[in-house]
Amino acid sequence: MASRQGVFSSSVGTKLLIGITGVLLFLYLLIHIAGNLIVFLGPAAFNKYAFTLESNPVLPLIELVLLSWFVVHIYKTIRMFLNNQSARPTAYVKKKSAGHTTRKSLASSTMIVSGLWLLVFLLIHVKAFHDGWGNEYEWPAGGRDLYRQEMETFQNPLMVGFYIISMIIVGSHLWHGISSSFQSLGIDKPAWTRFIRPAGKVIAVLIAGGFIVIALWAHFAGVRS
């Protein structure tokens, strides 16, 4: 009997792992943007949310699980890309469009690049909001003043610009990635595909747009405060 590792090392198993981790990371992003939107309710509400989240004793385990999903997703995607390239060592002389029925797009063609960009973004994002570049403030009701920390972080126009570019790349990655992940799980029947593909694109825009609005609002609201 083939080992579990052997199953997930096959092309089918690799696509399955990419699909599973992709869907899980997508669900995490939905939860993450929902929590971040609380910033519009003011410092008390946002810091209470942050304190409740960060005081959860299982948070380190959750973060470790999320990191493992992210690493597996990137690793398996790169391996699949390299395997596909080695199986077709000679590039096509001329590429032709398959018409309106093709799923080929800029987003699908740049999934590796966008994924690697997001890896760099994640490291900077964690450093900025988890470690606070060394600047952390206590919140009288408990925990840290993450609201102030976020406002100060987004006073830097370079950080805002980098964040906006990264969120556009997140949107591009999700634009193709949401429907692709479900397809990898075998949910590719025409009836489902007609719903998943447009819904995935709308959600991709909403998630990326939501984070961009937060960054811009924090920048300009922080200037006024």
Q: pLDDT digit string (tens) for 10-68?
A: 777 788 888 899 889 999 999 999 999 999 999 999 999 999 999 999 999 999 999 99
* CB count in 10 Å sphere of residue 104: 11
What is the sign of the dihedral through the CA atoms of 49, 209, 203 and 177? Answer: negative
Predicted confidence at residue 11, as pLDDT, reads 75
Greater confidence (203 vs 127) lies with: 203
Predicted confidence at residue 129, as pLDDT, reads 79
Region 13-82+108-224: CATH code? 1.20.1300.10
- SS3 of residue 82 by DSSP: helix
pTM for this predicted structure: 0.82
* CB count in 10 Å sphere of residue 4: 9
- SS3 of residue 138 by DSSP: strand
Instruction: Place 205 in a pLDDT band, splitting at 50, 70 and 90.
Output: very high
| Close Cβ partners of 160 (under 8 Å, ≥ 6 residues apart) | 154, 215, 216, 219
How far apart CA 26 and CA 32 sit, in angstroms, is 10
Instruction: Place 210 in a pLDDT band, splitting at 50, 70 and 90.
Output: very high
Predicted confidence at residue 16, as pLDDT, reads 86
Domain positions in the chain:
13-82+108-224
